[in-house]
Amino acid sequence: MGFCLGASMAGLKAMTATSGPGISLYSEQISFAIGGEIPLVIVDVQRLGPSTGSATKGADGDIQFLRWSNSGGLPVIVLAPVDVTDCYTLTVRAFNLSERFRCPVFLASNKETAMTRESVDLVSLQIPSVVNRNHCPPDREFLPFGPGGEKDVPYFLPLGGDRLVRQTSSTHDEYGYITGDTETIARGIRRMENKLLGAINSLSLFEYDRDDSADTLLIVYGVTARAARVAVQRIRDAGGAVSLLILKTLFPVPEKTIQRCIADAERVMVIEMNLGQYVREIERLAGSKPVEFHGRMDGKLISPAAMCEVMGL
Amino acid sequence: MSSLLNRDRPPVFCPGCSHDLVVRALDRALVAMGKQGTEVAIVTDIGCSGLFDTFFNSHAMHGLHGRALTYATGLKMARPELTVITIMGDGGMGIGGAHFLSSCRRNLDITLLVLNNFNYGMTGGQCSVTTSPVASTASGFLNELEPSLDICKVASAAGSPWVDRVMATGKKLPEQIRDAVQYQGFSLVDIWGVCPGRYSKRNRVTLKGLEEEMAALPPVSGAVQENERDEYADLYRRKSSRLSLPSGPVDIEPIYSSAFTGQKDILLLGAAGQRVNTAGELLCLAAMSAGLHVSQKNDYPITVLRGHSISEVVLSSSPVLYTGTGHPDVVFALAREGVTRRRSVFEKLKPENLVIRGKGVEVPEHEGKTITIDFKKLRIPSMHWALISLAVLAEEKSLITEKMLRAGLAFRFSGNSLEEAESLLNHFFSRKNSYRTSHS
Ligand code: SF4
């Protein structure tokens, strides 16, 4: 992580990959990447926890950890790939978002995704075009932590270039000097919060497969979405009705999208490979609509049959 | 005289703090080398010495407790032309001990100045790794329990090619810093000083006393001959430039048509050494030659040369969704180790399902069809059982065909391995009846 932070500040794109035990160690540096607004992609191939857990069995047990692993609790971006194709395209997207917003971006993968080989149709692969960070124009004063080209996102200049760059993990002013001035601190924190929360619409990725006649909305993410697609098809083939929302951006929580989908349903079902993590976000958005949960955390995939059974459809 | 000191941010240490002397000595060293601020990055750790970067008009990176060397490493690898100087206290050096050892061993061209004042000054005078066991600190008796660490000794033992020690008051401090920075590799300078704020008053430590203590130690003076070697980034670039770019994924155009539509799950149960995972991959490649979508998951213990080896393969005429194989259409039973792990799947087998079994491998009762092959009698070594089982499956023609399997081999192997695999198949297909022991 430290190497990545140094290399990223020198202007390179950097990525690191780990699983639960590693992401725990990353925690302090994740906070630095957020507070220092250092672009970085962090892949968490989640494996069954707690702790060193199972080498190697899958789970989605780090979802809230990714959201809250930074001291200070500032927002982060977490994307969740469903399959190998997503691993490819979402990684490009993760880099693009990290460059655009000057922040770390997480890919919440799963052993079941990363250690599964599968055929991919390379021809139909939609690879997003590459975004690079916004460098400070030569005629402007460089404020490493002041508002820059895009609202609330500072311009970047590489450390080691021909204009001096100050980077710090401590609370700082627009110039990168440590400060104790509460107004300056508050302004910086607000800006870092706004740069992501204010852009939710442009960074929310999801697939909504709506059935007009369905009462039930199934919400899933990651590898679980694969079984969910099979379950939904089985239910429909048998004359039943169900809608499916697959979230690919988990954080910042795409609140409006989720609420819009919930509004179409009478009942919400959340299925996750953990004891119930993302369901918390759904519950707070569902209002008075009942939210049911099914989880499994023993290293095995949740099967389509189990999904049909818990939904009773 | 010119200076890289930041006029807007003069040093703000406690009166008498040795850090002040080092700030000025570092500036003198950089000026003596003719460095511009843009050519230098000062990377600092946490603690009073962590303020260093703000006092200079240079690139600056201030990070977490004990981690400064990691940022310095990333920076230097990315920008080899940059002069990277890392400043840590004895506190951070202890916290980031592993990074310290790695840096000594790695020999990347960065300089580390350890501002050693024998305690955690900023946090209130707790003991650090260099605190003397007879000192009085804010940590009660804890420092009495552990001997203090000789930074230079550790650095030399860990492979640092440049190790130097000097007093913060040392007349030659700027020169010694300059020499360390100019050294083309990792360089460490252990700089002893006083911390009047937290340590030296309560311990009656004086600069003179420290000087005497240092003089009594075996001398260190820069280059450590036995540790001299190639600089890391230089070596890294030389070695990596010789590598060829990785080839992209295998591009497989469908040339055959599939014998089925829908999805088929195949479970290969074997043991280490039977090339089960390779067989799973061959099956996938064979199926792809008929335009099928495939997925493969392997399961084996961390002791890769012992124990079970299992491969789960899904072949499908539409994209593969759920990758679990709870109700397989075909099971290869090639070793007890694999079968034991997945006993429960046998009871789910239906009459239309197939088990391809090596003679002698016990399988639980099931309703599927079984083909048993007496590999031992045929003198086929265990490492080829999985491949021959694929040929048996191809002969059944329901999932893959001989042509597809041969196409799979050609995608996976080349040269001698391809020849060997092909001759095994030739042998099988020319004498297939002799392979089949029983068919029930
Ligand atoms: S606490 Fe010690 S190290 Fe820190 S500024 Fe004061 S004297 Fe220097």
pLDDT, one tens digit for every residue, chain A (313 residues) = 999 999 999 999 999 999 999 999 999 999 999 999 999 999 999 999 999 998 889 999 999 999 999 999 999 999 999 999 999 999 999 999 999 999 999 999 999 999 999 999 988 899 999 999 999 999 999 999 998 888 899 999 999 999 999 999 999 999 999 999 999 999 999 999 999 999 999 999 999 999 999 999 999 999 999 999 999 999 999 999 999 999 999 999 999 999 999 999 999 999 999 999 999 999 999 999 999 999 999 999 999 999 999 999 9
Percentage of chain B beyond pLDDT 70 is 99
Mutate to test the pocket of ligand 1, among B21, B52, B117 (most ligand atoms within 8 A of CB): B117
Q: What is the pLDDT of residue B1?
A: 56
Q: Rg for chain A (alpha carbons), in Å?
A: 21
Q: What confidence tens digit (pLDDT) does each residue in B415-433 have?
A: 999 999 999 999 999 887 7
Residue B150 has pLDDT above 80, yes or no: yes
Stated as kind and residue range, the H or E segment containing A212 is none
Q: Which residues of A touch B283 (CB under 8 A)?
A: none
CA of A161 to the centre of ligand 1 (A): 32
Q: What is the pTM of this model?
A: 0.96
Cβ atoms of residues B334 and B352 within 8 Å = no
Residue B339 has pLDDT above 60, yes or no: yes
Q: Please report which confidence band the pLDDT of residue B360 belongs to, taking 50, 70 and 90 as the band edges.
A: very high
Partner B contacted by A301 (CB < 8 A): yes
Residue with tokens 């400043």: B87
Percentage of chain B beyond pLDDT 90 is 93
Q: Please report which confidence band the pLDDT of residue B438 belongs to, taking 50, 70 and 90 as the band edges.
A: low
Return phi, psi of residue B330, to 5°. Answer: -135, 135
CA of B186 to the centre of ligand 1 (A): 27
Partner B contacted by A8 (CB < 8 A): yes
Q: Which residues of A touch B70 (CB under 8 A)?
A: 1-3, 5-6
Peptide bond into A56 cis (omega under 30): yes
Two tokens, residue B52: 């260093």
Q: What is the pLDDT of residue B250?
A: 85
Q: What is the pLDDT of residue A151?
A: 86
Partner B contacted by A304 (CB < 8 A): yes
Nearest to B322 among A120, A178, A303 (CB): A303
Stated length of chain B: 440
ipTM of the complex: 0.95
B62 and A178 within 8 Å at the Cβ level: the answer is: yes
The candidate with the shortest Cα–Cα distance to A61, out of A25, A29, A109, is A109
Neighbour count for residue B100 (Cβ, 10 Å): 26
Q: What is the three-state SS of chain B?
A: CCCCECCCCCCCCCCCCCHHHHHHHHHHHHHHCCCCHHHEEEEECCCHHHHHHHHECCEEEECCCCCHHHHHHHHHHHCCCCEEEEEEEHHHHHHCHHHHHHHHHHCCCCEEEEEECCCECCCCCECCCCCCCCCCECCECHHHHCCCCCHHHHHHHCCCCEEEEEECCCCCHHHHHHHHHHCCCCEEEEEECCCCCCCCCCCCCCHHHHHHHHHCCCCCEEECHHHCCCCHHHHHHHHHHCCCCCCCCCCCCCCCCCCCCCEEEEEEEEECCCCHHHHHHHHHHHHHCCCCEEEEEEECCCCCCCCEEEEEEEEECCCCCCCCCCCCCEEEECCHHHHHHCHHHHHHCCCCCEEEEECCCCCCCCCCEEEEECCCCCCCCHHHHHHHHHHHHHHHCCCCCHHHHHHHHHHHCCHHHHHHHHHHHHHHHHCHHHHEEEEC
Q: What confidence tens digit (pLDDT) does each residue in B30-81 have?
A: 999 999 999 999 999 999 999 999 999 999 999 999 999 999 999 999 999 9
B59 and A159 within 8 Å at the Cβ level: the answer is: yes
Q: Please report which confidence band the pLDDT of residue B124 belongs to, taking 50, 70 and 90 as the band edges.
A: very high
Q: How far apart are CA A17 and CA A4, in angstroms?
A: 11
Residue B434 has pLDDT above 80, yes or no: no
Q: What confidence tens digit (pLDDT) does each residue in B220-242 have?
A: 989 999 999 999 999 999 999 99
**What average pLDDT does chain B have?**
95
Which residues sit opposite B347 in a β-bridge? none
